[in-house]
Structure 1
Amino acid sequence: MPIAIDKFAAYYARSQHREPPLHLGTRYDRAGRFLPEPGNTVVCHLVAGSATEAALTDAKTRYEAMPDAAGLAFTPVESYHMTLFQGIIEGRRSYPFWPADVASDTPIEVMTQLLAKRLERLPKLPPFAVEVSTALPTGLLVDGATAGDRHAMAQWRNSFAEVFGYRHADHEQYAFHITTAYMIDWIDDAALPAWQAMLDQVCTEIARRAPRLELRAPAFCSFADMNWFEELRVFEPGPAIAQP
C-alpha cells in the first residue's frame, strides 16, 4: 500500500517551492554551518540525561541516516528546546517582532538586558506537560498534553507578550516545536514516502519512550547562533491550577 504523505511532510517537497529555504544564507550556509544571528528567546530545554533526550538523540541518528540527509543543517542535541515565546533577533527589528517603545537600532545585548528587566514583572504561572504530536524533517511538533496544559502554555505566552511589549501576528496560532535541523535543500518528491515512513516511526517511538516530554522550566536565554542558548533567568512554575 502506498504511504500517505501528510500535509506537514508534503510542505518540504521540492515541487512546493520556487525559492530556497527561508533562513539559508542568514542562519546557516550550504555546508550546514551556523552563522552569527544573535538574539534572545524563552525556551524549555530538554532535561539532560532523560529518556526524552535519549529518544531524540536516537531520532537524530535516524534522520542522519537518510540518503539525502546532506540537505539538512543539524543542530546539536544539547541545544534542543521547545520555544515558549520568541524574543528578538538580529535582522527582524520592527514591530510586532520588536517592542514599539524601543528604538529599532538598539544593540541586541542592550535589548537582552532591557527585556530581562521587564521580566521582573512576570507573574508566577502554572506548570504544564508536553507531548509530541508530529515528526517533521526539521524536528517535532509538540503541544500541551491536556486541555489544561494547553491553557497554561497560552497563559505563559500571553504573560510574556504583556511584559515584553509585543505580540507576533501568529501569537494565537503559534505551533510549539522542537527544531532539530534546518533545510538546506528541499526534499525530492520521490523521496517523500521514505521520509514519511521514517517520520511516522520516529513519532511513534518518541511517544512510547517519552509520553510526556521531560523539559526543564522555562528560561530566558541569549544566543549568538542556533548552536547554544544560554539560560539567563529560569522561571519555576507556581502551583498547578485545579481542573474542573
Structure 2
Amino acid sequence: MPVHLSTLATYYGRGHHPEPPRHLGTRYDQSGKFLPEPGNTVVCHLVPGSATEQALVDARARYMGMPDAGKLAFTPVESYHMTLFQGIIEGRRNAPYWPAEVATDTPIAAMTELFAKRLELFPGRADFAVEIVEALPTGLVVEGATAADRHAMADWRNAFADIFGYRHPDHDSYQFHITMAYLIDWLDDAVLPSWQTMLDEVAEDIRRRAPVLELRAPAFCSFEDMNWFEELRVFGTVEPVS
C-alpha cells in the first residue's frame, strides 16, 4: 500500500504540528537519547539473522540517509519487535491503561511480577503470520497475512486483556507496527515528497524479500527504556526464560 503524501503531511509534517512530538522529554530527549520509562509488554521479536531482519537493517540505513533524518531517534535493531499487547508503563497509571483492582502507585517491577504470575498457566493461542502493510517515517505498519491470522491475533489480544485486567480504547482497532524510530521534531514539509518515494520503495523491498515477516513467538517482556525488551516468558514453553 503506497504512502500518500497527505498522510505524511498530516502525521509527520511541521505544517500540521505547532506542538512538539508527544514522547519528547519522556521517552527520549532532544539528542535522541532514550530516557528511563520502565514497563512491560507482550511482543514478537524479529528472528535474529533472518532475511526479515536484514531487510529492516537495510531499510534503517535508507531512513538514516534521508533529509531530516536527524529529527528521528532511531531504536536499535536488536529491539525491533511487533507489539501484540501493551502492558503497563511508567507515566500512564490510570484507567483504562491499568487494572482497576490494583493500586495505581504499585511499582512497575511489582506489576511485572503480578502479570507474570497471572500468565503462568496461560498456554498461548494459535500461531499467526504477519506481513507488511506500509512503511512510515517511524517504522512499519503490519497486519495478519490472512483473515485467519488476523482473527488469531485478535484472539491473543482478547486473552491478554482478560488476564491483565484492562482494555485500551483502541483495543479492537489497534494498529500493529514495528517501531524503528521516534520523532524528535517534525519533518519539514519540503522533504516529504522524497520521504514518500523512499518509504514506498522500502515497503516494496521488504514485501519482496520477506513476504511473511520472520517473528519469534510472543513473549511477555520487561523493559527500562526503548533499547531492550527482556523476554521473561515465551508462550508455548513451560518454564520462564532463565
TM-score between both structures, scaled by the size of structure 1: 0.94
Q: For the residues of structure 1 that align with 2:52 and 2:223, how far apart are their CA atoms?
A: 23
In structure 2, the partner of 1:126 is 126
**Rounded Cα–Cα distance in structure 2 between residues aligned with 1:84 and 1:203:** 21
Does the Cα contact within 8 Å between 1:122 and 1:159 map onto a contact in 2? no
- Give per-residue Cα distances to partners, 1:33-60, cap 9 Å, x unaligned: 0000000000000000000000000000
Deviation at 1:9, TM superposition (A): 5.8
Tell me the CA shift for residue 8 of structure 1.
4.9
Matches within 5 A, 1:1-244: 5-8=5-8, 10-236=10-236
Give the aligned CA root-mean-square deviation in angstroms. Answer: 1.3
Q: Give, in angstroms, the shift of residue 17 of structure 1.
A: 1.0
**What is the deviation of 1:102?**
0.3
- Structure 1: how far apart are the matches of 2:204 and 2:167? 34
- Relative distance call for 1:146 and 1:42 in structure 2 (3 A) is same
**What is the CA distance between 1:68 and its match in structure 2?**
1.0
Which position in structure 2 is the counterpart of 1:240?
Answer: none
Give the corresponding residue for 1:241. Answer: none
Sequence identity percentage: 71
Partner SS state of residue 120, structure 1: coil
Q: Aligned partners of 1:93 and 1:111: how far apart in 2?
A: 11
Runs of 5+ unmatched residues, structure 2: 238-242
Greater displacement, 75-84 / 11-20: 11-20
The CA deviation at 1:16 is 1.2
- In structure 1, runs of 5+ residues without a counterpart are 238-244
Distance 2:236 2:190 in 1: 46
CA offset at residue 10 of structure 1?
3.9
In 2: Cα distance, 1:129 partner to 1:236 partner: 16
TM-score by length of 2: 0.95
